Structure formats: structure tokens, C-alpha cells
Amino acid sequence: MNSMIQNIKDFINRITNTMPFFIKIVICSTSILYLLNLIIPYISLIFSDIPYYTIYHIQLWRLFTTPFMTTKILNIIVAFYFWITEAVKLEQQIGTIKYMLIFFMNTLCIQILYCFVMFLFSIIIQNSDFLKNKITSVGVVNEGLWPILLCDLTLLCLSNPDRNMKFFFIPFVLKAKYYPFFLLVIFTILSFRINLEILCGVGFAFLYHRYLKNFLKISNNLASKIGNSILFKWMKNQQGYIDLGGIGLPNLQNNLENVRNINISGNNDPQGRFSSFGGKGTAVGGSGEKRSNTNNENNSSYNNESNEGNKSEIRLDVEPNNSKE
């Protein structure tokens, strides 16, 4: 018995020691709010996005706290299972601060769209109480990571629309561009209702991909300024914090370059291996730029290769300038 408990502790320690910092914040916050809601059931009514209170009572914090509030343990387990894998990759690739900003930007946009849709419905039926209809006998339904999870998945599908995707054990494949709609149908069948919050997550993904990408882009400069501010500077000393730019170029087979403006240039290798431009360099200095076009056999080249398992291969070929000032 003691050995089993020790094994569980070791397993938890391995996960917490290797998991990026912001992912740990999301997991811990969601777990704490879930446990508090078991003791104080009204916690879910405070942190979930209920449009009536968000709009008419201007309780704007709900736009940010909704992903952390879940009242069903099954939702936590399933959502974490699907979300953590890609979230860890993404935070490792672009850094903790930038991923955190992207996460909250997406959350804000999805919840604003959700409130807008619900508000339109309330006007159409001329009943403002309609905005409260997400409060059910089992808790608030618009909660958790599902909207942002479906948003990320949709953007991943749109970045490679002709890729074949399979849903668990179902014995057929779909083109990636149809996959989000298939998931919406599955969610509707399983819950016996139209999930407007999830529909808004998918809808925002399409809007972002087609129209909003250039307007909502979070630059490295902005992320750096925010990361160095007093409010977030403390995070740099925390275990699992990843600096801006990530930890290198891991396997990007499921990369979200088109999703989150990760500034990585590469070829069209479907396996996600990237190679930098292998052309000749130009030296800049002194009074201007000079280029060596001679066939001097003494010119040297420097090749830096990195090939770790199935990770990326990066090659940088430079022809040094032998001309003298």
C-alpha cells in the first residue's frame, strides 16, 4: 500500500516538474474552483459567464474566469485530456507569457461573442430573462475549457484543411475542414441540445482565421513588455516558466503556426520538420555592404545541424565575407 502511494506521488511529481507554468495554473485553478463549488454551490454562479449578469450588471470578470470554472468532474478529466497535450506543446514553443496572453485573448473573444449571440436571441424573443437560461438544476452549463479547446482544434484543422482526421474508434476519416462540424454534431447528440458556447468557440476560430488574424496578433515585443512588467515579472522565477521564444523547435507535427502567429518559417514537410534558408550570407559593416562573388576555394562554410530523434532539422549555411575594408 505504501509503495503504491509512493508511486502515485512520484508520478504526480514528474508531471508537475515537467509541465509548463501556465498549464499548471489552469489545472490548479480549475481543480480548486471545482472543490470549492462542492462546498459552496454558488461559486459556479460567480465565476461562470452568465450573460444577464455580464451585460446588465457589468460583471466583466466572468469573461476571463469561465474556463477555470467546471462543475462536473467528467468535464475536467475529458477536457484536460484533450487540451493539455496541445497546450503543453504550444507553451513550450512560444513561451509562457505569450501563451497566457493568447489564452486570455481567445477566452475574452469567445465569451464576448457568446454574450452577443445570447443578447440577440433575448431581443428577438423580447425576454431578457432568456440570458439566464444557462443556469440549470445541475449548475451553469457555459463553463470550462470546451469552447477554447474547440477553438484551438478548429484553427488546427483550418491550418491544414485537406488533412485526414479520425475520431476515436469510428471507422472512417474526415477531411480536417469538416471535422469541427462533425464534432458539433457529436456534442449536440450527446447533450440533447445545441451548445451555443461551443458553437461560439468554433465560430470565433473561423472569424480569426479569415478576418481577425492580423488584428489580434500578439507580437513578441508586446509579450516581452508585459512579461517584464511588475504584474508578471515574478513568474520568471517559477518552476516551469518558459522564456519568450520557447525551448527550441520540438516536433511540430501538430504545430499551430497559423493558429497563434508563431513566427516559424519552414518548408511544406507534412511531418513538421523545418529547415532554414540555405543560401549565402551578406556581411554588413563599415561604410556599407560588400559581397564576395569570387570562387576562392578558401571560403569556408559553417553547418549547424540539430537532429534529436524525430525533432526538427535546422541547417544554416553561411559564406563568410573575405573582402577587406
Q: Which own/partner contact pairs does 306-314 have at CB distance under 8 Å and 24+ positions apart?
A: 310/251, 310/271, 311/249, 311/250, 311/251, 312/249, 312/250, 312/251, 312/252, 312/272, 312/273, 312/274, 312/275, 313/273, 313/274, 313/275, 314/249, 314/274, 314/275, 314/276
Indicate the burial class of 105 (C-beta count within 10 angstroms; 0-12, 13-18, 19 or more).
Answer: middle
Per-residue model confidence (pLDDT) at position 190: 79
Dist. CA 22–CA 24, nearest whole Å: 5
Furthest CA-CA distance within the chain: 82
For β-strands 302-303 and 317-318, DSSP reports them as antiparallel
Per-residue model confidence (pLDDT) at position 186: 85
Per-residue model confidence (pLDDT) at position 314: 35
**pLDDT tens digits for range 267-278:** 334 443 333 344
Per-residue model confidence (pLDDT) at position 24: 92
Per-residue model confidence (pLDDT) at position 135: 61
Dist. CA 96–CA 22, nearest whole Å: 6
**Mind listing the domains of the chain with CATH numbers?**
15-237 (1.20.1540.10), 275-325 (no CATH)
Dist. CA 201–CA 109, nearest whole Å: 9
Dist. CA 94–CA 81, nearest whole Å: 21
**The overall pTM is greater than 0.85:** no
Beta-bridged to residue 25, according to DSSP, are none
Per-residue model confidence (pLDDT) at position 250: 40
**pLDDT tens digits for range 151-163:** 998 998 999 999 8
Per-residue model confidence (pLDDT) at position 229: 93
**Residue 70 and residue 79 in contact, taking contact as beta carbons nearer than 8 Å:** yes
Dist. CA 37–CA 238, nearest whole Å: 28
With a cut of 50, list the residues of the chain below it in pLDDT: 138, 248-325
Per-residue model confidence (pLDDT) at position 140: 60
Other residues' Cβ atoms within 10 Å of the Cβ of residue 324: 6
Per-residue model confidence (pLDDT) at position 325: 38
Start-to-end C-alpha separation, the chain = 76
Per-residue model confidence (pLDDT) at position 216: 92
Per-residue model confidence (pLDDT) at position 30: 94
